Amino acid sequence: MTDVIWTEGLTKRFGDLVAVDNLNLSVKEGECYAYIGRNGSGKSTTARVLLGFLRPTKGKTRVLGGVGSNPNIRARIGYLPGELNLPKVMTGADAFAYYGSLFVGVKRSELIKLVKRFELDPSRRVHEMSTGNQRKVGIVLAFMHCPELLILDEPTSGLDPIFQAEFRDLLAERKEEGTSIFLTSHIMAEVARVADRVGLLAERGRLVKELTMEQLRNQATDAIRFTFTQAPNLEAFEGVPGVTNIVARDLDVSVSIDGPVGPLLTRAGELGAVDVYTMGKDLDTVFTEIYAEENN
């Protein structure tokens, strides 16, 4: 599968500050890669280097087979920056017309659909809009030409919960259509629906861990509780991979698991389980725990 984003030894320093440190990264065609880290960890800097807005101190990058600073490559990318800095006199409609002239494939019908979907008034000047509405303008600019690759920097920052959900729906739709996505965030709920892989960025721009979403969700599972019509033989659970503890109470059995849950569910079904309940941690908690482990 083709790499739409590739870096080797990518490093970016600002004086003595290391913003990105020896980053080796690849994002495959059609994949959604979530680049996660705390504020100030180097997420936005990485995106700007990929697009050619910043020059790397050392290392190599490749985006869509070329370099992000190439206008022909840039026209195939939808970019949503962390902050939308447009001229003060520019209205939403002005922004859509100007940037639309730089892209190939902008359809008037698609633009109107996005504006209506996010309930925007494009006649207003962007700098007079609320933070949330400015964010919506940025979303429309990034998506309106149906790009091959989306590079999205904290995309739901400033949006209210209703439009955060609407954005996640839009992102899922574009991924279903085959769009490749590189998403920076510090909010796990933002990436849980569409991400295929997650890269964890620690302080000073170090990529310390990569996980598939399946692996991340497995780490979120503390235990699974099963209900049986009659007490099962608990020894039957002991040979299941990943089982670390078994607690029985009447006809309920709680099994702690460290790893894939498939084999455990199969065994419980063989023993006649009639109900199942997952007792887990939310993904934000898992992220915090992994981050703490990698920084110790």
How far apart, in whole angstroms, are the C-alpha atoms of residue 234 and residue 228?
Answer: 12
CA distance 224 to 273: 12
Tell me the average pLDDT of the chain.
Answer: 89
pLDDT, tens digit, for every residue of 218-264? Answer: 666 667 889 999 988 899 998 898 888 898 988 999 888 877 788 89
Residue 213 per-residue DSSP state: H
Residue 66 pLDDT grade (very low, low, confident, very high; cuts 50, 70, 90)? very high
Structure tokens at 107: 């359809």
Q: Which residues contact 183 (CB under 8 A, 6 or more apart)?
A: 32, 33, 34, 35, 150, 152, 155, 171, 190, 191, 195
Confidence band of 201 (pLDDT split at 50, 70, 90): confident
Where are the domains positioned within the chain? 3-195, 221-282
Q: What pLDDT sits at residue 261?
A: 82
pLDDT tens profile 122-173: 999 999 999 999 999 999 999 999 999 999 999 998 999 899 999 999 999 9
Q: What is the pLDDT of residues 70-95, one digit of tens each?
A: 999 999 999 999 988 899 899 999 99
Structure tokens belonging to residue 277: 């309940």
Mean pLDDT of 205-209: 88
CATH architecture of 221-282: 2-Layer Sandwich (3.30)
Residues above pLDDT 70, as percent of the chain: 91
CB atoms within 10 A of CB 14: 10
Look at residue 280 and tell me whether its pLDDT is greater than 80. no
What's this model's pTM, rounded to 2 decimal places?
Answer: 0.80
Assess whether pLDDT exceeds 90 at residue 37.
Answer: no
Predicted confidence at residue 185, as pLDDT, reads 82
The residue count for the chain? 296
Which listed CATH number (3.40.980.10, 3.40.50.300, 3.30.1330.40, 3.30.750.24) goes with 3-195? 3.40.50.300
**How much is the pLDDT for 282?**
58
Q: How far apart are CA 280 and CA 175, in angstroms?
A: 28
The amino acid that residue 250 corresponds to is D
Q: Return the DSSP state at 42.
A: S
Per-residue pLDDT, 135? 96
Q: How confident is the model at residue 294 (pLDDT cuts 50, 70, 90)?
A: low
What is the pLDDT at residue 238?
84
